[in-house]
Amino acid sequence: MAKTPSAARNGRLQVLKTCKMYVGGSFIRSESGKVLPAVAADGKTTLAQVCRASRKDFRDAVVAARKAFGKWSGMTAYLKGQILYRTAEMLEMRAGEMELEIMRSTGVNATAARREVADAVELLVHYAGWSDKFTAVFGSVNPVSSPHFNFTYPEATGVVVVVCPDTPSFVPLVHLVAATIVTGNSCIVFPSETAPLPALTFCEILATSDLPAGVVNILSGLRADLAPTAATHMDVNAIVNGCEDSALDKTLHEGTTTNMKRYARHSVPAGDWRLSGRPQWMLDTIEFKTAWHPIGW
């Protein structure tokens, strides 16, 4: 374990924080008891310990997400937008802490870290604004040759697994999660493996943002441990993959054939995560329903 200057002066090892995962609104350790070191960009300094999620942890997260889905999807568009905006407010209040976490985890300078946090705040506000608009934009009134009204409207698909790239460590997570939950889905998130600390700090922001427990669940660890279970789990409705790993893509894509769950992959250059995809990425995790209604006379 690495020494900090203060610990070295005191002649002792630093007591490193073990960052917990976030499932069902609670901060938990892995049921396996396993942890991994969160290493700084220099590859040498250990910043903290993070829990290594197991398949049991993933199954528990699916249960929590499914439980939260009904309440969250049933909330009014106005309320969902207000909660996303509240999350942006809480992130703005803790921007300095998040910037420091990004800098020490990834080695970027203060300007780049400040830009990443600012982009994340803007994305949350952006999707908060879409909460009461996506139904009108993506829905339609269809012409039919009978005395009926025919409406097509979007609905949330259910429980979604969100796989985040390693770099950038924070903006992709916020972007993919916001695009997923604004339409009423709940999700399980696999954050960056190489720099998980910004995501685990973001858990603390989610816990104080009025977001119902279980809407967003974050599992740290190794994607390879969880991907096969995520792809074949029969109560997962969709997977959104933002990771560049081709082997992981193959595992997820092939596994989804077992229950025909939706699968979307976004390969985005590191500097383009702020602008890419929106608002079309909301279409990854919505289903279109059509209703017929007789025209009254």
- CA 5/CA 22 separation, integer angstroms: 31
> End-to-end CA distance of the chain, in Å?
78
- CA 231/CA 149 separation, integer angstroms: 38
What pLDDT score was predicted for residue 227?
A: 96
Residue 293 pLDDT > 90, yes or no?
no
Residue-range domain boundaries for the chain: 55-294
Taking residues 288-294, what's their average pLDDT?
89
What fold is seen in the domain 55-294?
Aldehyde Dehydrogenase; Chain A, domain 1 (3.40.605)
Would you place residue 1 in the very low, low, confident or very high pLDDT band (cuts 50, 70, 90)? very low
What pLDDT score was predicted for residue 79?
A: 97
pLDDT in tens, 124-167: 999 999 999 999 999 988 888 888 888 898 999 999 999 999 99
Sheet holding 21-23: strands in order across? Answer: 26-28, 21-23, 216-218, 186-190, 159-163, 238-241, 262-265
Residue bearing the bigger pLDDT, 1 or 46: 46
- The chain-wide mean pLDDT, for the chain, equals 92
Would you place residue 297 in the very low, low, confident or very high pLDDT band (cuts 50, 70, 90)? low
**Residues in CB range of 62: below 8 A, 6 or more apart:** 159, 188, 233, 235, 236
CB 200 within 8 A of CB 173: no
Number of H helices, E strands in the chain: 10, 13
Residue 211 pLDDT > 80, yes or no?
yes
| Closest among 276, 275, 281, 226 to 255, alpha carbons compared | 226
CB 100 within 8 A of CB 116: no
Residue bearing the bigger pLDDT, 271 or 240: 240
